A and B are shown apart, each in its own frame.
Chain A
């Protein structure tokens, strides 16, 4: 998967959590939780969905890597590159 594909997957996962999520004004460098009303349980939903889709285990101490859309892509790119 390339960066754009990873980005699309993340937005798809978030849209599945909240179909009313509005991405039009999303700043990819600002925390997702501040912009999309995602709480800690929603965040765990994202982690779970990555695990289900890609057998990807995100260790708890690496959760901060998933703070913004760009940091998510940066973190996931090497892990999903070969998929």
Chain B
């Protein structure tokens, strides 16, 4: 991506298919409709040791692409991944007559993996006096880190590379970036990439956020995820997934693919400071690097989809970073999708990007919801809240995703112009 001003079609990467499972929606159309209507997909989960908590749970056709026995053998992340990959391929119209399965790569972003399966097995052997003879032989294939990506290969007969990208809650963006890079390197011709989350199955993840004082609580679960609101009190954990098909433009055009948008630029950097606390200045550097690589100025961005998770400090840090980078940009709008679906961890970045892609054609910025009393520290000029906003034109979306251990990722997708 050295000469982005006049890249050849072989150096331009486009998004041609979207498959997703989000709390409250199992298609992009349904997800978009919920986002525009300000409808929350958050419900509750009753979890071992934890009791009832707000959580984002997904409902989708789990046996559309593989049998129930395979879902039973595999993991929830694998089940979500297979559905999303199948939906993305279907949406993109890819049946492997054009592309070679051996030249197809699968890159899956995960915040964590194996936590749910390990907790379940420890509980299981607890029923048998902690006798490890009762520990399942499925444990290792379920918990190896490539598990969800590998389950996708088996279902669709994809024989190219597959692996997972561990990047905390920046993982979805990071996997998309990995797919872009592998296409540009010529390692693959088709990249299935995105992120998955099965974190709602882990009591430990809920308990750890609660111990940290960062687990959202609210009598009405649909009101629990409230980034930028003064009353925000933490994260709503969600499961979900989103897989995109990425192709080089020349090949996408050759097969008359529908094009959702073009990758403009991206950046990943590290705070190098703290295990959990986010750091606005480095987030700003990350956004500025992505803009530079995209050959764009801040005012070229139409929508900033924030990472904000509903924690006190996290939301403020990101708002500081955005305010500084985008000061004076009066045609840049800001929104947040976690207010609708909670925090889908490894799937968050890509689900949130997907939910905003239709803006290129409907010119609507979906709102941030659950904003009753705006925190003055989060009062960004272009913040769209409560109801969707129609804008003259959407040319570029900047998607922020940040994660623990200080990993920041920014991805810019621009309107496709032939």
Contacts and interface: CB of A to CB of B under 8 A. Distances in A.
A24 B128 CA distance: 35
A48 B137 contact: yes
B69 A17 contact: yes
Interface residues of B, number: 12
B67 interface: yes
Given A51-B133, A52-B128, A57-B133, A41 B69 contact: no
Interface residues on A, range: 10 to 19
B128 A19 contact: no
Interface of B: 67-69, 72-73, 128, 133-134, 136-138, 141
Nearest to A17: B69
Contacts of B72: 17
Given A48-B136, A52-B128, 6 more contacts: A18-B67, A41-B141, A45-B137, A48-B134, A48-B137, A51-B134
23 contacts: A17-B69, A17-B72, A18-B67, A18-B69, A19-B68, A19-B69, A20-B67, A20-B68, A20-B69, A41-B73, A41-B137, A41-B138, A41-B141, A44-B137, A45-B137, A48-B134, A48-B136, A48-B137, A51-B133, A51-B134, A52-B128, A52-B134, A57-B133
Interface SS of B by simple majority = helix
B325 to A, nearest CB: 51
A41 B134 CA distance: 15
A40 to B, nearest CB: 9
A32 B73 CA distance: 19
Interface string A13-40: 0000111100000000000000000000
Contacts of B128: 52
A18 B134 CA distance: 21
A27 B73 CA distance: 26
A57 B136 CA distance: 14
A45 B67 CA distance: 17
Nearest to B68: A19
Interface in A37-68: 41, 44-45, 48, 51-52, 57
A62 B137 CA distance: 18
Contacts of B133: 51, 57
A17 B141 CA distance: 17
Nearest to B135: A48
Contacts of A20: 67-69
A52 B125 CA distance: 10
A48 B391 CA distance: 60
A66 to B, nearest CB: 15
A52 B136 CA distance: 11
